[in-house]
Amino acid sequence: MIHIWKQYPGVNQLSSSLGGLSLQHSQQPESLRPVNLTQDRNILPVSSVPAPVPNLNSDLRKLNCSPDSFRCTLTNIPQTQALLNKAKLPLGLLLHPFRDLTQLPVITSSTIVRCRSCRTYINPFVSFIDQRRWKCNLCYRVNDVPEEFMYNPLTRSYGEPHKRPEVQNSTVEFIASSDYMLRPPQPAVYLFVLDVSHNAVEAGYLTIVCQSLLENLDKLPGDSRTRIGFITFDSTVQFYNLQEGLSQPQMLIVSDIDDIFLPTPDSLLVNLHESKELIKDLLNALPNMFTNTRETHSALGPALQAAFKLMSPTGGRISVFQTQLPSLGAGLLHSREDPNQRSSTKVVQHLGPATDFYKKLALDCSGQQTAVDLFLLSSQYSDLASLACMSKYSAGCIYYYPSFHCSHNPAQAEKFQKDLKRYLTRKIGFEAVMRIRCTKGLSIHTFHGNFFVRSTDLLSLANVNPDAGFAVQMSIEESLTDTSLVCFQTALLYTSSKGERRIRVHTLCLPVVSSLADVYAGADVQAVVCLLANMAVDRSVSSSLSDARDALVNAVVDSLAAYMSTASNLQQSMLMAPNSLKLFPLYILALLKQKAFRTGMSTRLDDRVYAMCQMKSQPLVHLMKMIHPNLYRIDKLIDESTIHVNDRVVPQPPLQKLSAEKLTREGAFLMDCGSSL
Amino acid sequence: MAFTFAAFCYMLTLVLCASLIFFVIWHIIAFDELRTDFKNPIDQGNPARARERLKNIERICCLLRKLVVPEYCIHGLFCLMFLCAAEWVTLGLNLPLLLYHLWRYFHRPADGSEGLFDAVSIMDADILGYCQKEAWCKLAFYLLSFFYYLYSMVYTLVSF
Predicted confidence (pLDDT) at residue A62 exceeds the cutoff of 50: yes
**Out of B46, B55, B111, closest to residue A183 by CB:** B46
Residues of chain A neighbouring B45 (CB-CB closer than 8 A): 180-181, 433, 493
Cα–Cα distance for residue pair B78/B98, rounded to 1 Å: 10
Range list of H helices, A132-275: 165-168, 198-203, 205-216
Residues of chain B neighbouring A393 (CB-CB closer than 8 A): 120
The CA radius of gyration of chain B, in Å to the nearest whole number, is: 19
A370 CA: distance to closest CA in chain B (Å): 11
Burial status of residue A357 (CB atoms within 10 A of its CB: 0-12, 13-18, 19 or more): buried
pLDDT grade for A552, boundaries at 50, 70 and 90: very high
pLDDT grade for B115, boundaries at 50, 70 and 90: low
Q: Name the E strands within B5-97.
A: none
Cα–Cα distance for residue pair B30/A366, rounded to 1 Å: 23
pLDDT grade for A25, boundaries at 50, 70 and 90: very low
Minimum CA–CA partner of B109 in chain A: A542
Cα–Cα distance for residue pair A190/A420, rounded to 1 Å: 14
Strand, helix or coil at A179?
A: helix
Cα–Cα distance for residue pair A471/A374, rounded to 1 Å: 21
Residues of chain B neighbouring A179 (CB-CB closer than 8 A): 42
Closest CA to B92 of B105, B106, B113, B78: B78
Is-contact A638 A652, C-beta < 8 A? yes
Average pLDDT, whole number, for chain A?
85
Residue A373 burial (CB count, 10 A): 22
Minimum CA–CA partner of A357 in chain B: B112
**Out of A315, A353, A455, closest to residue B123 by CB:** A455
Backbone dihedral angles phi then psi of residue A151, each to the nearest 5 degrees: -95, 130
Q: What's the whole-number mean pLDDT along residues A160-182?
A: 83
Long-range contacts from B1-7, C-beta under 8 angstroms, 24+ separation: B1/B157, B1/B158, B2/B156, B2/B157, B2/B159, B2/B160, B3/B157, B4/B85, B4/B156, B4/B160, B5/B84, B5/B85, B6/B85, B6/B86, B6/B87, B6/B156, B7/B153, B7/B156, B7/B157
- Tens digits of per-residue pLDDT, A294-325? 888 999 999 999 999 999 998 999 999 999 99
Closest CA to A72 of A398, A651, A513, A499: A513
End-to-end CA distance of chain B: 7
pLDDT grade for A1, boundaries at 50, 70 and 90: very low
Q: Touching check for B42 and chain A: CB below 8 Å?
A: yes
- Tens digits of per-residue pLDDT, A598-644? 888 888 899 999 999 999 999 998 999 899 888 887 777 776 666 66
**Out of A353, A357, A460, closest to residue B50 by CB:** A460
End-to-end CA distance of chain A: 46
| pTM for this prediction | 0.88
Size of interface A-B (CB pairs under 8 A): 87
Q: Beta strands A501-513 and A171-175: pairing type? A: antiparallel
Beta bridge partners of A430: A463, A495
Contact at CB, B123 and A356, closer than 8 angstroms = no
Residues of chain B neighbouring A431 (CB-CB closer than 8 A): 47, 50
- Whole-angstrom CA distances from A442 to A92, A438, A477, A514 are 11, 6, 6, 15
Cα–Cα distance for residue pair A394/A462, rounded to 1 Å: 6
Predicted confidence (pLDDT) at residue B1 exceeds the cutoff of 60: no
Which range (A147-151, A233-237, A483-487, B47-51) has the least confidence?
B47-51
User: What b-and-e string marks burial along A516-539, b requiring 16 or more CB atoms within 10 Å of the CB?
Assistant: bbbbbbbbbbbbbbbbbbbbbbbb
**Out of B54, B109, B114, closest to residue A363 by CB:** B54
Helix (H) or strand (E) holding A599: none
Q: What's the whole-number mean pLDDT along residues A551-562?
A: 92
**Out of B37, B55, B114, closest to residue A367 by CB:** B55
Cα–Cα distance for residue pair A431/A493, rounded to 1 Å: 8
pLDDT grade for B45, boundaries at 50, 70 and 90: low
pLDDT grade for B129, boundaries at 50, 70 and 90: confident
DSSP 8-state assignment for residue A348: P
Helix (H) or strand (E) holding A550: helix A545-566
Residues of chain A neighbouring B126 (CB-CB closer than 8 A): 445-446
Contact at CB, B51 and A368, closer than 8 angstroms = yes
Backbone dihedral angles phi then psi of residue A674, each to the nearest 5 degrees: 85, -65
pLDDT, greater one: B130 or A213: A213
- Tens digits of per-residue pLDDT, A122-164? 989 998 888 788 899 898 899 988 888 887 777 777 777 778 8
Contact at CB, A454 and B43, closer than 8 angstroms = no
Residue A396 burial (CB count, 10 A): 29
Residues of chain A neighbouring B50 (CB-CB closer than 8 A): 366-367, 369, 431, 433, 454, 460
Residues of chain A neighbouring B128 (CB-CB closer than 8 A): 456
Residues with Cβ within 8 Å of residue A577, at least 6 apart in sequence: A34, A35, A37, A560, A563, A584, A585
Quote the pLDDT of residue A639. 66
Predicted confidence (pLDDT) at residue A9 exceeds the cutoff of 50: no
For A261-308, give the DSSP string: --SSSSSSSEETTTTHHHHHHHHHHHHHHTTT-------HHHHHHHHH
Contact at CB, A455 and B47, closer than 8 angstroms = no
Report CA dihedral (B50, B54, B59, B63) to the nearest 10 degrees. 140
Quote the pLDDT of residue B39. 55
Predicted confidence (pLDDT) at residue A17 exceeds the cutoff of 50: no
Q: Which amino acid is at A494?
A: Y
Predicted confidence (pLDDT) at residue A593 exceeds the cutoff of 60: yes
Cα–Cα distance for residue pair A324/A288, rounded to 1 Å: 20
For A65-126, give the DSSP string: PPTTTEEESBSSEESSHHHHHHHT---EEEE-TT---S---EE--S---B-TTT-PBP-TT-
- Tens digits of per-residue pLDDT, A251-310? 999 988 888 899 888 889 999 998 898 999 999 999 898 888 888 899 999 999 999 999
Cα–Cα distance for residue pair A266/A58, rounded to 1 Å: 59
Quote the pLDDT of residue B31. 87
Contact at CB, A393 and B110, closer than 8 angstroms = no
Q: Which amino acid is at B124?
A: D
Is-contact A33 A578, C-beta < 8 A? yes
- Tens digits of per-residue pLDDT, A344-394? 777 788 888 888 899 999 999 999 999 999 999 988 899 999 999 999 999
Quote the pLDDT of residue A191. 95
Residues of chain A neighbouring B39 (CB-CB closer than 8 A): none
Which range (A44-48, A318-322, A510-514, B85-89) has the least confidence?
A44-48
- Tens digits of per-residue pLDDT, A423-438? 999 999 999 999 999 9
Closest CA to B50 of A493, A18, A322, A263: A493
Best interface-test mutation with A: which of B49, B120, B133 has the largest number of A CBs within 10 A? B120
Q: Beta strands A237-241 and A106-107: pairing type? A: unpaired
Quote the pLDDT of residue A570. 59
- Whole-angstrom CA distances from A358 to A189, A326, A332 are 21, 12, 10
pLDDT grade for B117, boundaries at 50, 70 and 90: confident
Quote the pLDDT of residue A2. 35
pLDDT grade for A15, boundaries at 50, 70 and 90: very low
A393 CA: distance to closest CA in chain B (Å): 7
- Tens digits of per-residue pLDDT, A487-515? 999 999 999 988 889 999 999 999 999 98
Strand, helix or coil at A161?
A: helix
Output the CA angle A581-A584-A589, nearest 5 degrees.
165
- Whole-angstrom CA distances from A222 to A82, A187, A496 are 50, 7, 8
Residues of chain B neighbouring A366 (CB-CB closer than 8 A): 50, 54
Closest CA to A217 of A190, A177, A255: A190
Cα–Cα distance for residue pair A666/A214, rounded to 1 Å: 46
Q: Where in chain B are the domains? A: 1-159
**Out of A315, A445, A493, closest to residue B125 by CB:** A445
Cα–Cα distance for residue pair A42/A35, rounded to 1 Å: 11
Cα–Cα distance for residue pair A663/A652, rounded to 1 Å: 18
Predicted confidence (pLDDT) at residue B38 exceeds the cutoff of 70: no
**Out of A183, A363, A446, closest to residue B124 by CB:** A446
If phi > 0 it is left, if psi is from -120 to 50 it is alpha, else beta; for residue A88 that is: left
